[in-house]
Structure 1
Amino acid sequence: MTKTFSAAAASFLFSRKWLTLVLLLPALAMAAEINLSGESRVRYLPDSARLQFTITAEHPDASQASAQVRETMARWRDGIADVRDQLVDYSDAAVNLYQRQLPVRSANEKRETVAVASQTISFEVHNLELINPLLDEAQALGIQYHLGPQQFFHSREAELQRQALAGAIADARSRCEFAAGELGMKCGKVKTLNIQDGYRPGPVMMAEARMGAADTVSEVGPRELTASVSATFELR
């Protein structure tokens, strides 16, 4: 009788231990976690620009329109000869030729057609001091161009992006360490990390390029790269 009772008691105690362990397993599996965001901004001054110019000529005779464009292109090439080796990814594609109809002033007027020849020039400059002499040359030859803030960039932008991302990750961890300290815990390893919206370049203050009275660049302002992340940390 005693042996039977002892065996039953041992079996009961063994079952309770397993039951306790089973009940603890979900708690052990679900360690404390915290999800936080981090953000970082890197301010910089652009040191490069992408430029595009267009030579255009119109004439009733297509060959004359093309000849005018070729003549202007030859003068342009002569004018930039001293700095040509500093123009990165330079391209001046072949002449593009098409026709357009001139507007009429009255219904009885005959609609005329002219030939339009154009040639596009594009390149990058990694020395912003070259911009104004190039704009002066284009203006002297009647070459069309547009220069806006979006055309300015930094030649080491990829490095700046990594710097902003590193700052965003460090910001997220710093917030985790603060929150964990307030809870009497410690910030553990990262479980998940998501980069939100990539990198968002944007102007600081006013426009990056201010045009002077002679349509030349007088000032290039600062920009910012913003990186943000969302991270899940373990708390222990």
Structure 2
Amino acid sequence: MKRHPGQVMTRAALAMLVLGPVAAGAVSQKLRYRFEAVSNPVTTVVDDSNKGHTGTVQTANGGAVVPVTGYDGQGVQFPAVCTGTGCPHANLSAADAADLNPGTALFTFGVRVRLTLADLTTDHGSNLVQKGLSTTAQWKLQLDDAVAGKPSCVVRTTGGAQAIIVKSSVGVADGTWHKVSCQRTSTTLTILVDNIARGSALIDSTYDISPVGQPVGIGAKSTGNNNDQFHGAIDDVYFNID
């Protein structure tokens, strides 16, 4: 870009020079929890996307969500493994909102996660983040493999019909932080571990994912029995429309 003497280059012009034109359909962040300003135990979590989706911790049987050293800064820890009745339960919940119901839009959502094989159980799955249930429309990221801790992405259309499930070919239960995400493109649903695609399935462009009326649940779907409690640590939860 040629400049005449005394001409000042604007920030926008500099961005164009360095980055090129801004692409259409840029990512729009709808929810993000970085957990940098939470109490101990955690009660509420600020939505760092500035969309106002404040998270609220719900607990039962003495369960709690507590801050721990995260992937970057601070993360949160969910209740330890427990079997039988009366186990501690806890989840982080955000209320239903229209911008968290993607419909047929392209999206990416995910978390940073840390757990060991000892944090897995054989009697229930472990829910990382979800909106909707198995009987409704749903988007969900879970850990259902107690042997290797392989995560999977699940989406369902209206009424819980025609579920599409994509399981990772690798596990994450090794005591280190991993980024796990689910991405919908125009043709596929893909699960990524540490930004590497580890499984995919075809998805039609008309497949509608609209869990209207359902809250977002992190760490478990509820605090009741059979809540699919996650027992590890989580950091940087996000949901983006691509």
TM-score bracket, shorter-length normalisation? under 0.3
Higher helix share: 1
TM-score (norm: length of structure 1): 0.23
Question: Quick one: higher RCO (CA 8 Å, sep 6+), 1 or 2?
Answer: 1
